[in-house]
Amino acid sequence: MNTGYNFAYLDEQTKRMIRRALLKAVAIPGHQVPFASREMPLPFGWGTGGIQVTASVIGPDDVLKVIDQGADDTTNAVSIRRFFARTAGVRTTTRTQDATLIQTRHRTPERPLRADQILIYQVPQPEPLYRLEPSRAETRKMQALAEYGLMHVKLYEDIARLGQVSISYDYPVLVNHRYLMAPSPIPAFDVPKLHRSSALQLFGAGREKRIYAIPPHTDVEPLAFDDHPFRPIRAPRSCALCRSSDTYLDEVVTDDRGGRMFVCSDTDWCEQHR
């Protein structure tokens, strides 16, 4: 552990400020709480929101797992894991069931989480209405008044043009029957895992300076039409390594002659099931 830094890098005042935002976020599930996002020793877009949330909730006894697109061994995951190993001296792991804190980018672990675990998502764009309504003041009003017709217009357009809803990641969900929420760019396949999860789920958007949360056992419903219900999409294959047939798969190109294989995106799940 590098003792030249404050515990988990952030100063105590900043952590208190973020914890206050987190408490508010937990109290109003799905509602985006503004916070004074700090400069971090990595650029915005590399998980600064998730890191600040992790730094504010991590303690010396925590065991940290960091995944990026489901993998523990990608650059982003490795460097964030090392960052907290150095600044907080915490133990790290790649095994989902051994972790107390999991910071993630673009995936929810395949293994169901427990009540003593916290899942922290890195969020690039917290406002699901962002692409539909350019005015931030207007989207805030829409959120405040629960006017979400516009989001359904987007789904309508997809079905009208493509015959089905084409949103394959960052699928808009309604949290606790109240707030429209961006679940971060996780695949639509992962959205059902958010619903009534036993674990606390926290979301941090560093550049956009927003924090939001889904407390344990909260209802999370993907938006849909009665006659076009939500359908999580996955490649209709089994993992080439562990044979799992109900996990989210990555397609890996193996040569330049059309060779390919499908493997679990969740590397830890895959290793434990071979």
Token duo for residue 101: 């804190």
Q: Least Å distance between CB 223 and another protein?
A: 9
Contact present, 25 and 201 (Cβ < 8 Å): no
Alpha helices in the chain (DSSP H): 12-27, 48-57, 75-87, 136-144, 149-162, 191-194, 267-272
> What residues are paired with 203 via a beta bridge?
121, 212
Task: Name residue 210's beta-bridge partners.
Answer: 34, 205
Among 136, 157, 217, 260, contact with another protein (rule: CB under 8 A): 157
Position 150 contacts another protein (CB under 8 A): yes
Q: Does 219 bind another protein (CB under 8 A)?
A: no
Do 204 and 56 meet the contact criterion of CB atoms below 8 Å apart? no
Look up residue 189 and give its two tokens: 């396949």
Q: Is 250 in the site for another protein (CB under 8 A)?
A: no
Query: What is the rounded end-to-end Cα distance, in angstroms, of the chain?
Result: 34
By CB under 8 A, name the one of 42, 78, 85, 159 that touches another protein.
159
Report how many residues bind another protein under the rule CB under 8 A.
17
Q: Rule CB under 8 A: is residue 162 a binding residue for another protein?
A: no
**Nearest to 214, CA basis, from 200, 225, 193, 232:** 200
Of 73 and 157, CB closest to another protein? 157
Residue whose C-alpha is closest to residue 176's, from 133, 125, 216, 203: 216
Residues tagged active-site: 30, 239, 242, 264, 270
* Candidate residues 227, 246, 255, 256; the one interacting with another protein per rule CB under 8 A: 227
In the complex, least distance from residue 31 CB atom to another protein, rounded to whole angstroms: 16
CB of 156: closest distance to another protein in angstroms? 5
Does 230 contact another protein by CB under 8 A?
A: no
30-65 burial string, b = 16+ CB within 10 Å, else e?
bbbbebebbebeeeeebbbbbbbbbbbbbeeebbbb
Pairing, β 91-92 against β 63-68: parallel
The stretch among 170-178, 202-210, 219-227, 254-262 that binds another protein (CB under 8 A) is 219-227
CB of 244 to another protein, least distance (A): 33
Q: Rounded CA gap, 205 and 119, in Å?
A: 14
Please tell me the total number of residues recorded for the chain in this structure.
Answer: 274
24 binds another protein (CB under 8 A): no
Choose, by CB under 8 A, the member of 4, 149, 236, 259 that binds another protein. Answer: 149
Residues in contact with another protein, shown as a per-residue x/- string from 173 to 212 under the rule CB under 8 A: ----------------------------------------
Contact flag: residue 134 with another protein (CB under 8 A): no
Q: Among 61, 116, 161, 255, which residue interacts with another protein (rule: CB under 8 A)?
A: 161
Q: Which residues bind another protein (CB under 8 A)?
A: 141, 145, 147, 149-150, 152-153, 156-157, 159-161, 224-228
